[in-house]
């Protein structure tokens, strides 16, 4: 058990659970459940929920979903290609499960943006906007744009004790660098998603992830609630305390364990857990499914540690042995289970990273790349979509012959964001208010409409 330090009010802060950037019980959780919806155009939502499988660090598009078998040797890489269930579409040979389900998948192969720094690029993909005043390794701040879950909570604040967004199992932070795009930015801490830290493959995951901090038992929590109620009696005698309702929901969530069952993977059929894979990738994707079943609208499952897909060295060895097999197994099981339960029709599943990798093996763009590695490359990369009415079996957009630049229609992170918001029934042109009460558009992008209408990209 790891204890960082004891707050002056008696709260013990631990790494297993961060209720946003705003603190823990009694300090930030009421804000998590509070909020005020802003006016927005009403649209028909295609999706009730979104599962974003985020490949943090940036996977090679050439070695995954956009292979180049006819390119020169130093570009096409070591992997063979594999035919998929979608006629004419090929994947890397180490994605057999997803290849067998390609009739459900739409691959966008012409995403592009300008940032090759992990932090800036992550912000752009997870918010749909360039990071304000972006500099190299600019850490998260309250001037950032909100992640998708935070924006959704802004427009549709919940009152049922279920968080709008959950990110797991890795909080993207390395030393002093806190990745932007993981919180509500200028919308404020009350809209932050839950940040869950811990390996769902660990036998003690449920206890370590959901238990109240040591020294803060349910009895103490109840006592704190009683104290707060006493302190607010005077104010409430003059009029209903506007925060009391949110506070009641916050305490109810913790005391009732309303979402705890979703986190209790021990309740899951062992055979199901085996299908996802008994590793952090598979169990995180399984947990994402369970959270969606429990009513959480947006779940982001970070695949690997902060820069796990950052293959500057041993690109092919790491992809073949450590990265692609567990991803393939987990996503394949997810698609099967969502299909079987009928939830695939209302769940948008996305697999993406913050950028791709260099076309040429060993190419150095300034990051000490090794001879068997691929460096950062944001000029073109891929993302995979499924569910919520997405027309599978298609490729949208294309990269050039060596996977260096878009060959036709270029799609931006703004378009990526607009696609998610429109799927959830939020007009991408809706306005949010920043800390200075300035109106800011949700995204300047346009939805990737071929995902649903099958039109020419």
The strand pairing partners of 174, in sequence order, are 177
Asked if the structure places residue 294 within a domain, the reply is yes
Is a pLDDT exceeding 60 seen at residue 210?
no
Asked if the structure places residue 253 within a domain, the reply is no
How high is the pLDDT of residue 26? 34
**Looking up tokens 């309303």, which residue turns up?**
258
Asked if the structure places residue 417 within a domain, the reply is yes
How high is the pLDDT of residue 240? 43
Residue 412 CA from chain centroid, whole number:
17
Average of pLDDT values for 144-168? Answer: 93
Contact in structure between 122 and 134 (CB atoms under 8 Å):
no
CATH of the domain at 76: 3.40.720.10
pLDDT band, very low/low/confident/very high, at 354 (cuts 50, 70, 90): very high
Asked if the structure places residue 138 within a domain, the reply is yes
How high is the pLDDT of residue 251? 53
Asked if the structure places residue 276 within a domain, the reply is yes
How high is the pLDDT of residue 227? 54
Average of pLDDT values for 389-397? Answer: 98
pLDDT tens string 30-40: 443 433 333 34
How high is the pLDDT of residue 206? 67
381 three-state secondary structure: strand
How high is the pLDDT of residue 304? 81
Asked if the structure places residue 236 within a domain, the reply is no
pLDDT tens string 239-269: 444 444 445 545 545 544 657 789 889 989 9
Which is more confident, 276 or 6?
A: 276
How high is the pLDDT of residue 253? 53
Is a pLDDT exceeding 70 seen at residue 97?
yes
How high is the pLDDT of residue 173? 92
Asked if the structure places residue 19 within a domain, the reply is yes
Q: Which residues, in sequence order, are CB contacts of 54 under 8 Å at separation 6+?
A: 126, 300, 301, 302, 303, 352, 353
Query: Looking at the 3D structure of the chain, how many domains does it have?
Result: 1
How high is the pLDDT of residue 232? 54
Is a pLDDT exceeding 60 seen at residue 18?
no
Is a pLDDT exceeding 90 seen at residue 55?
yes
pLDDT band, very low/low/confident/very high, at 43 (cuts 50, 70, 90): low
Would you state the structure tokens that stand for residue 99, as one six-digit string? 């290849």
**Looking up tokens 């940032």, which residue turns up?**
115
Average of pLDDT values for 141-161? Answer: 94
Range of the domain at 109: 5-218+262-453
pLDDT tens string 296-343: 999 999 998 777 999 999 999 999 999 999 999 999 999 999 999 999
Q: Which of 153-167, 219-233, 327-341 has the lowest mean pLDDT?
A: 219-233
Q: Mean pLDDT over all residues of the chain?
A: 84
Q: Where are the beta strands (DSSP E) in 163-255?
A: 165-168, 173-174, 177-178, 194-196
How high is the pLDDT of residue 238? 42
Contact in structure between 357 and 58 (CB atoms under 8 Å):
yes
Asked if the structure places residue 52 within a domain, the reply is yes
Is a pLDDT exceeding 50 seen at residue 83?
yes
Q: What is the pTM of this model?
A: 0.84
């Amino acid at each position: 058990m790891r204890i960082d330090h004891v707050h002056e009010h008696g709260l013990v802060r631990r790494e297993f659970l961060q209720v946003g950037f705003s603190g823990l019980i009694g300090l930030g959780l009421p804000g998590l459940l509070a909020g005020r919806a802003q006016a927005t155009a009403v649209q028909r939502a295609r999706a009730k929920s979104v599962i974003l499988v985020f490949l943090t660090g940036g996977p090679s598009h050439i070695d995954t979903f956009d292979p180049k078998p006819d390119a020169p040797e130093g570009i096409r890489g070591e992997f063979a290609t594999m035919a998929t269930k979608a006629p004419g579409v090929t994947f890397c040979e180490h994605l057999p499960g997803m290849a067998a389900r390609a009739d459900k998948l739409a691959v966008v192969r012409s995403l592009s943006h300008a940032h090759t720094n992990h932090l800036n690029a992550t912000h752009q993909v997870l918010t749909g906007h360039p990071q304000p005043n972006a500099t190299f390794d600019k850490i998260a701040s309250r001037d950032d744009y909100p992640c998708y879950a935070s924006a959704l909570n802004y427009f549709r604040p919940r009152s049922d004790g279920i968080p709008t967004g959950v990110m797991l199992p890795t909080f993207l932070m390395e030393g002093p660098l806190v990745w932007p795009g993981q919180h509500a930015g200028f919308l404020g801490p009350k809209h932050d998603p839950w940040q869950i830290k811990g390996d769902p493959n660990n036998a003690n995951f449920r206890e370590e992830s959901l238990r109240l901090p040591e020294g803060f038992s349910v009895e103490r929590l109840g006592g704190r609630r009683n104290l707060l109620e006493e302190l607010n009696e005077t104010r409430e005698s003059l009029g209903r305390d506007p925060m009391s309702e949110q506070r009641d929901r916050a305490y109810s969530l913790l005391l009732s364990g309303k979402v705890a069952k979703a986190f209790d993977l021990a309740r899951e059929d062992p055979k199901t857990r085996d299908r996802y894979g008994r590793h952090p990738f598979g169990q995180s994707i399984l947990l994402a499914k369970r959270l969606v079943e429990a009513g959480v609208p947006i779940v982001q499952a970070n695949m690997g540690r902060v820069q796990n897909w950052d293959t500057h060295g041993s690109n092919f060895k790491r992809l073949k042995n450590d990265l692609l097999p567990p991803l393939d197994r987990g996503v394949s099981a997810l698609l099967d289970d969502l299909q079987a339960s009928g939830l695939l029709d209302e769940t948008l599943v996305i697999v993406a990273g913050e950028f791709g990798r260099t076309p040429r093996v060993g190419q150095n763009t300034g990051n000490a790349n090794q001879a068997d590695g691929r460096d950062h490359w944001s000029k073109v990369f891929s993302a995979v979509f499924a569910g919520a009415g997405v027309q599978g079996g298609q490729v949208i957009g294309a990269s050039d012959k060596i996977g260096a630049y878009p060959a036709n229609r270029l799609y931006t992170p703004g378009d990526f964001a607009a696609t998610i918001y429109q799927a959830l029934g939020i007009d991408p042109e809706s306005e949010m208010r920043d800390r200075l009460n300035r109106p800011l558009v949700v995204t300047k992008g346009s939805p990737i409409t071929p995902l649903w209408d099958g039109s020419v990209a």
